[in-house]
Amino acid sequence: MGVDSYECLFWSLSALAGEIKAKRISPVEVTEKLLNRIHEIDQTYNSYITVMEETAREATKKTETEIMGGNYRGPLHGVPIGLKDIINTKNARTTMGSEIFKDYIPDCDATVVEKLEQAGAIIIGKLNTHQFAYGPTGDRSYFGPARNPLDPTKITGGSSSGSGASVAAYLNYGALGTDTSGSIRIPATLCGIVGMKPTFGRVSKYGVFPLSWTLDHVGPMTRTVRDNALMLNVLSGYDEKDPYSVKTEQEDFTRRLEEGIEGAVVGVPTNFYFDHLDPVVAEKVSGSLNLLRELGAEVRELEIDRLEEISQSQQLVLKSDAYAIHKERREGYPDQWDEEVKERLLLGADIKAYEYARAQQMRHVAVQSFQKAMENVSVLVTPSLPILAPDIGQRELDLPGYEGQHIRWALIRLPGPTNVNGFPSLTVPCGYSDTGLPVGLQFIGRPFDEATLYRFGHAFEQALGLENRLETFKKTI
C-alpha cells in the first residue's frame, strides 16, 4: 500500500474506497496527506474550527490494521470525513460557531458520529458554521467566516459553511451538514458540490444542537452523487434516542444509480420556484431541463398549491423554535452573540401562539400540496437557489424581487418549503457563471424515496460531464 502523490486527495469518496478495499492505497498515508493539505491551505478558506489530528491518526492506524487483516467494513472504512461543528463529539470540542461554547467538549457522541465510526470512517475534524446554525450566509461565526473555494471573496452559504467549503476545497472526502431552511443545500450549491436533505426522520438528530425541533435535518455533502448515496447508507436508520426518528428498512441508496431516466416524467413547477431568478441561474437551469429531455425524460409543467403560505410558515416556525431554544442562553450571556444572529433571534419574541399553531398546521398543507403535484411525476426539478454567491458581508441584492430585503430571504426561499413537509431534496451542480460561480439544480422526491433522487441526480451528473467538472475544480484551488 502506498501513495506516491497528492493526486489521491482529488479522488471521489467511492474511488478512494475502491483503492482502500483493494489494498492498493494506505489510509494512513491518505490521512497524513490530507492533514498536510489542511495546514497548507485552510487558512485561506477557514473551513475547519478544530482539526482532530491525534484522534484521526490513531483511528487511521487501527483502520489500516483491520483492512490488512481482511476486516473491511465497507465504503467508508478508512475515509476521512468532516463534521459540522454543531454535531457532538466526545473527544473534541463542539463550538456551535459561538463564543459561549468555544471550549465545550460533550460527554458523548451524536448518533451520526457513532454510525460513521462504526463504518470505519475517520473523523478528521469539526467544520465552521454560522453561529448556532442560524443564518444562510455562513459568514457569522465566532471563528470568522468560511470562504468559498471558488472565490474566497464570496460566501460559502450557510449555515453548513465549513462543510461546503471543505468538500469543495478537497479537505475531506465528505462532510455532514444540517438543514433547517436549506443549510445543506445552500452551501452545497454555492460551493458547487452535492448536498442531500433526507426525509425528515430518516437520519437521527440525537446529539445535534437544535435550531428548530421540527424543521432540522442532518445529511451528507459530497463531491459526487454516488458518494452522497454511500454516506446516506451509513447515516440512515431508526434511533430511539431521537423522538422524531422514523422506523425504516435498511436500504442501499446506490441501487438505482445506473437505471437512467429514459421514459421518466419530471415535474417543473410554473409558480414560485422560477420567480426572481438571476439571469445566469435561469439560463443554466433551462439548459439543465433540456439535458433531462435529451436523457429521455418528459418534462411536464405543473403548479404547487399555496407555496407562498408554506414558505412564510417555515419562517414563522423557525423564528419561534429558535427563540424558545435560546431564550435562557440569550439572557444568561447577553454579550456573547453575533449581533446579526441576536437581532434575528429577537424576531421570535412577539409571535403569538395562534400564529405558531397555524404555521404548524401548514405542514399538512405542504405535504398535501406536494403529494398532489407529484401524482404523475417521478421527481420535481427546480433551481436550488435563485442567485449566485454574494460577497462576504453583503446583505442586500440588486435583483428584482428582493429590493429592500435582507439577503437571507433570497437564499432560503427555494430550499425552505421542503423543510416544512420533510420531503427529501437533492442539489447537484448544473453549471457555472462566466466568473466561475456555481449554479445548482434541485431534485425533490417523495418521502423516503431518496434512491430515486440519486438515480436522477446521477444520470444528470454523468451527462453533464463529472470528470470535467472535477478537473475544473482542481485548477481553481
The long-range contacts involving 143-149, CB below 8 angstroms and separated by at least 24 positions, are: 143/46, 143/49, 143/95, 143/97, 144/46, 145/46, 145/392, 146/45, 146/46, 146/47, 147/44, 147/45, 147/46, 147/392, 148/45, 148/190, 148/191, 148/389, 149/45, 149/191, 149/476, 149/477
Q: What is the mean pLDDT of each run of 10 residues along the chain (477 residues)?
A: 77 98 97 98 98 98 97 98 98 97 98 98 98 98 98 98 98 98 98 98 98 98 98 98 96 98 98 97 98 98 98 98 97 96 96 97 98 98 98 95 94 98 98 96 98 98 74 52
- The torsion defined by the Cα of 127, 232, 216 and 223, in degrees rounded to 10, comes to 50
Cα–Cα distance for residue pair 278/400, rounded to 1 Å = 9
- pLDDT score recorded for residue 465: 87
Using CA atoms, how far residue 34 sits from 150, 173, 227, 270, 312, in Å, is: 19, 10, 18, 45, 42
Dig out the grid coordinates for 281 from the structure.
Answer: 441561474
* pLDDT for res 137: 98
- Helical H runs in 104-224? 111-118, 161-168, 185-191
Place of cell 459540522: 84
Asked if residue 181 belongs to a domain, the reply is yes
pLDDT of residue 475: 52
> What span, in angstroms and rounded, lies between the C-alpha atoms of 417 and 431?
24
Q: Which long-range contacts (CB under 8 A, 24 or more apart) does 390-398 make?
A: 390/137, 390/154, 390/155, 391/153, 391/154, 391/155, 392/139, 392/145, 392/147, 392/153, 392/154, 392/155, 393/139, 394/155
- Residue 331: CATH number of its domain: 3.90.1300.10
Which is nearest to 262 in space by CA: 459, 20, 65?
Answer: 459
| pLDDT of 229 | 98
Residue indicated by cell numbers 437571507: 408
Kindly state whether residue 43 falls inside one of the protein's structural domains.
yes
- What number of H helices and E strands is found in the chain? 15, 11
- Residue 287 domain flag: yes
pLDDT at 5: 75
pLDDT at 153: 98
At residue 428, the 3 state secondary structure works out as strand
Vertex 104 angle, CA 99 and 107, to 5°: 160
Is 184 within a domain? yes
Q: What are the residue numbers of the active site?
A: 84, 159, 183
What is the domain count for the chain? 1
The answer to whether residue 219 is domain-embedded is: yes
- At residue 408, the 3 state secondary structure works out as helix
Inside any domain, residue 410: yes
The confidence score (pLDDT) of residue 239 equals 98
Residue 355: which residues within 8 A CB-CB, separation 6 or more?
Answer: 316
The closest of 228, 98, 119, 110 to 163, measured between CA atoms, is 228
Asked whether residue 277 is assigned to any structural domain, the reply reads yes
- Distances in Å between the alpha carbon of 417 and those of 74, 195, 236, 312, 363? 35, 16, 22, 9, 9
Question: Which pLDDT belongs to residue 466?
Answer: 59
Domain holding 455, by residue range, is: 6-476
**How far apart are alpha carbons 289 and 272 in whole angstroms?**
17
Q: Decide if 41 contacts 103 (C-beta within 8 A).
A: no
- Quick check: is 1 in a domain? no
Cα–Cα distance list, 251 to 125, 232, 393, 410 (Å): 28, 10, 42, 35
